[in-house]
Each structure stands twice: as C-alpha cells, then as structure tokens.
Amino acid sequence: MGEKRYHHGNLREALLEAAFRLVDEEGPEAISMRALAREAGVSSAAPFRHFPDKQVLLDAIAAKAGAEIDRRLDEVAVECGDALTQFRAMTVAYVRYAAEHPVLFGLVHSRSAISGRFLGQVDDERRLKLIALIIEGQNAGLIPDADPELIALTSEALTHGLARMIADRHPRVRNLDSEEARKLALAATQLLQTGIGLA
Amino acid sequence: MGEKRYHHGNLREALLEAAFRLVDEEGPEAISMRALAREAGVSSAAPFRHFPDKQVLLDAIAAKAGAEIDRRLDEVAVECGDALTQFRAMTVAYVRYAAEHPVLFGLVHSRSAISGRFLGQVDDERRLKLIALIIEGQNAGLIPDADPELIALTSEALTHGLARMIADRHPRVRNLDSEEARKLALAATQLLQTGIGLA
DNA sequence: GCCGGATGTTAGCGCCGCTTAGATCGCAGA
DNA sequence: TCTGCGATCTAAGCGGCGCTAACATCCGGC
C-alpha cells in the first residue's frame, strides 16, 4: 500500500489543489513552496519542476478560481431565458462568489494575476454579449440611448464594487452571508436601473 | 557633517517615508525590513524598535494613504457649495486617487489593513453625511423615496468599483490617465442618477 | 533492451522576519 | 553637575523562505 515511490505521479495537481484550498482558507501569504512540498511528501525542490516560481502557482490558482466564476456565471445565465433576468442572475452569482470566497475573488483581480492572463479574453467575450444585450434593449425602446459601452461598464463597476466591498470586509457590508449578499445585489442593481433621481 | 551617530534621531519617520514611497512605486512585496534598515543606515534589528512587525508598518502606510484620501475628499468637498456637485467632486477625487496611486489604494482596502483600523470610524462619519444629504434631497422631492442607506451604498459601490477596476488595471479600463478617469467617473455617476432604464 | 527526457533528490546560497543580549545615548531629578 | 534609567541602537544568530545546480530514478518510444 502506501509504499514510497520515487515519482509522485500527480504532483502538479496535488500541489495545485492543496495550494488552492489553503489560499481560499488562509490567504496567499499562508502558502510556501516548501510547506506545500512537505504536505505532498516530496522534497522542497520538487514543486519547481511544475511551477517555475511561486507567482506562476498563484497565477494558476487565480486561473482556476476565475474559471469557476465563469462557470457559475454561465450556469445561471442558461437557467433563465429573459435577458434582464439573466443579467440580474449573473450579478447575484458574481457577488455571491465574492462573499463565499473572498480571498480567491481578490486573487483573481489582483494586479499580478491580471497582467497578461486569461481575464482579457474571457472577460471580453462576456462584455460583447452584455453590450449586444443593451443595444437590443435600446432598439426595443427599453433602454435610453446612452453609449452602450458606458452602460455596460457602469453596470459592471457597480457589481464589481459591491463584490469587492464584501470580499474585503469593508466596514459598510461586513459579515454578509451569501443570502444577504444576494438581496443587496438585487436591490442595488434595481436602483441602477431606475436611477436614484438626483440630477 | 555626515558623522555617524549612534542614534538615528528620526528613524520611525525615515522608515515610514521610504517604505511609503517604495510601496507606492513597486508594491508591498518590494519592501523588506532589512532593506529599509540598510537604506536608513541602521542595523537590521533597529526597525523593530518602531514597528513590532512588518504588518504594523504596512498598516501605518495604509493609514497614511487613507488619511491622504480623506484629505482630498474634504478638500474638494469644501470647494463647491452645491450638495450634488460636492458629491460628484468627491467621486471624481476618489477615482483619481485610485488611478494615480493604484498600489496604495489597494493597500488601504486590503483585508489586513481594514481589520480593526481607522477605516471604520472615518468612513462611517462620511457615510452619515452622505445619508443626511440623500434624506435632504428626498425631502426636497429630488430623490425618490428608496431606502437612503441603500442609495448611499449603491453610489459608493459604483464609485468603489470603478476605482478598483482602474487601480487593478482591469482590462476594461486599462491605462486610463487621471483625466480620463475623471470623465469616466462623471459619466458613470450621471448614469446612476438618471438610471439605465432596464426594468 | 536501452536511452533520453521528465520528474524526483540532496545540498546549499542568500535573503528574509524576528529575537535576545548587550552597548550607547540623552534627559530628568538628586 | 553628576547619575541613573529608559529609549534607542548594534551584533549575532535562529529557523524559514525562494530558488538553483548537480545528480538519481523512472518511464515510454525507438
């Protein structure tokens, strides 16, 4: 049984999973290459065969979390036909992920993870969909004729801001569970749609 | 002249200033206690007389940056009388700071800096002002009778989201200079006021 | 069967945060 | 003016870190 083989067999995945879980629970500062190696039962130099340096490992974790966010957004999007409902559901899903996995959410949007990574293209694809949706709404007379790009960006900024505040435990929204996060996201989105009426 | 004294005389401030500048320019990972000590011409143990550990130093940097943000917000607030103009100017100032000092902006809102720090009270004070402003607007019939807290939070989330996206070099708003950031902040705020009309 | 590349090991370099023990200084009160 | 004491610094060192170089082992394709 538990015999010591020279080769681990699945070291890359083992490291990635352990690191992913640790970062989720304790934060990025909580992991070290050496500790991960110990936990996997390999020497401290072994991890560097699979991740050239620590930042690459963190990037891989961020990519995994980013993919999970994308998966959730797609999931809720296909569940509801109506375009507006779809949009709201995606907002809620985004904010909920931030509430449930604040550290991973932060890592996905950290500067080091963002630079030159997947976020560019995946995100851009979703943005094009959103803009198409808005233009559709404008043609149907449901949405005022403001710049669609601006409308999309504003919606995103609101969603992202809420998510960030929750993830960072901003004093204003401290300790929201994901149900409260859901309600807040819906209310704020609604408010954006109707406008707060200053002007 | 440059004689070696045993006591530095102003080590705490020297360390804080050097660290502040370095974090602003290179990021929090770029500083080390030992390097700061070398730069200040002092032994590597000396900094620990003034900062019990590295996190406390980072907290002090965050506090300094936070105070600067507060100063800017107050500054633009007194410059313009009209309440709405005041609110817009504060939004712009906030987003501009994020564009000009992305790393410091991020540090101020990092979880470790936030927990148990000044942000609680200072921020709360500003929030009460904002809510009072909204209630005033509602009484004057300018703002619909939604929950003032929700309105305040939504405005803040939008502003904060924009600032974060810019500071983190989110692909959507990459490479905005502070003038472009200003325009975007104004446009998005305007859009929130009129509403985007989905609904 | 064997051999080359992928994947592991051991050893070690230089840096780090932080601690302890003792040196030096500057100032308040005798 | 002297003295003693607390604040501030130094020297030395501990254990951990990221990462590298040189060598060992294993596996899959010729």
Instruction: Note the pLDDT tens digit of each residue in A136-163.
Output: 878 877 777 889 999 999 999 999 999 9
CB A165 within 8 A of CB B157: yes
Q: How confident is the model at residue A124 (pLDDT cuts 50, 70, 90)?
A: confident
State the Cα angle at A33 between A31 and A34, rounded to 5°.
Answer: 105
Give residue B129's pLDDT.
84
pLDDT in tens, A184-194: 999 999 899 88
Rounded average pLDDT over A5-32? 94
Q: Which position has the token pair 């609110």?
A: B87
Spell out which residues of chain B touch residue A150, defining contact as CB-CB under 8 Å. 187-188, 191
Among A3-12, A182-191, B20-29, B177-186, top mean pLDDT goes to B20-29
Give residue A199's pLDDT.
42
Structure token digits, residue A189: 């989105």
Q: How confident is the model at residue B119 (pLDDT cuts 50, 70, 90)?
A: very low
Give residue B68's pLDDT.
95
Whether residue A192 and residue B158 make contact (CB cut-off 8 A), yes or no, is yes
Give residue B92's pLDDT.
94
C-alpha A18, offset from chain centre: 19
How far B143 CA sits from the closest chain A CA (Å)? 5
Rounded average pLDDT over A42-50? 97
Rounded Cα gap, residues A194 and A147, in angstroms: 17
Rounded average pLDDT over A46-52? 97
Q: Is the pLDDT of residue B158 over 60?
A: yes
Q: Which position has the token pair 């943005």?
A: A127
Among A104-118, B3-17, B150-164, top mean pLDDT goes to B150-164
For strand D, which nucleotides have at least one atom less than 7 Å from a protein CB?
A: 8-13, 16-22, 25-27
Whether residue B160 and residue A165 make contact (CB cut-off 8 A), yes or no, is yes
CB B91 within 8 A of CB B50: no
Domains detected in chain A: 11-49 (1.10.10), 63-194 (1.10.357.10)
Residues with CB under 7 A from strand D: A 5-7, 31-35, 44-45, 48, 52-55; B 6-9, 11, 37, 41-46, 49-50
Rounded Cα gap, residues A179 and B25, in angstroms: 39
CB atoms under 10 Å from CB of B114, counted, come to 21
Rounded Cα gap, residues B40 and B36, in angstroms: 6
Strand stretches in A127-191, DSSP E: none
Q: Is the pLDDT of residue B86 over 60?
A: yes
